[in-house]
Amino acid sequence: MSTLNDRTFDLKGLARAISQAPGPSPWYYGQQAPFPSDAGLLIWKQLPTEGSVALVDAQGDYRLVLGFYSYTMPVNRSRILVWYEAGEPPQPMAGVETFLLEIADFSPLEKKTAEARMPRALAPKLIFNGGLIASTTVPASLKPGVNRFVFPAPFETLPEILMLGNNSSIPGSTMKRAIYCLRPNERAIEVLPQDWFNLGDFDFGYQWITKVVRDPHSGRIAGTGIRLKSFILDESGRRVELEFD
């Protein structure tokens, strides 16, 4: 890791961007401010099933339920992107299931269904009624580097999306975490193996990466994790250039 002068980056701005980046349920849900949508103000609520959270409207109706380790990103007032790895971290290898949803078209869910207690491994990753615009699977077998990928047409207006996931094409390490840089308007996905983490001296399962975001000023990727310092990757996107608190 190089010793880059902190003044090269706006660390306060990056810390703010990281705090606002999508993170996995349940850790980063339940404490956010309500967000406005075409269906009114919506909030996230923790549910009895371990790791599950619900998107709740002003009337208290459940509109969407996320299982353990799912991500969301509001696209605008009308649409939300949801994704999760098919399987259970840290070793799913099937890919990242991704859904673009129309918020106003959600039908309320039955609370007894949403709040049903069940083992985490048996709980569904995503529950919703109505509102599906399009979906796709990001394969875990994509090669490191830029891959051509045909997205559903509704995805092509989305900005770059950074997702974390395992990648079966990464050689030489037990851990195979990667950043998938989805660029729907370019019909491309860039795969960036996280060499610093996969080959690092970490307590896997106790420490892991949870959030990544691109710095609009430098173009670098920054992120954080559970029991990890915040970090900025170097130009390769595979190694850490700088850590910060």
CA–CA distance, 215 with 19 (Å, rounded to integer): 13
In the predicted model, what is the mean pLDDT of residues 2-12?
67
Q: Is residue 105 over pLDDT 90? A: yes
Tell me the C-alpha to C-alpha distance, in Å, between residue 43 and each of 7, 46, 125, 167. Answer: 37, 10, 19, 33
Per-residue confidence (pLDDT) for residue 91, from 0 to 100: 58
pLDDT in tens, 125-181: 999 999 999 999 999 999 999 999 999 999 999 999 999 999 999 998 899 999 999
Q: Is residue 12 over pLDDT 60? A: yes
Q: Is residue 2 over pLDDT 50? A: no
In the predicted model, what is the mean pLDDT of residues 186-211?
97
Q: Whose structure tokens read 């959270």?
A: 53
- pTM score of the predicted model: 0.93
CA–CA distance, 172 with 26 (Å, rounded to integer): 31
Contact 148, 183 (CB under 8 A): no
What is the residue-wise DSSP string for 204-231? BTTBEEEEEEE-TTT--EEEEEETEEEE
Average pLDDT, the chain: 92
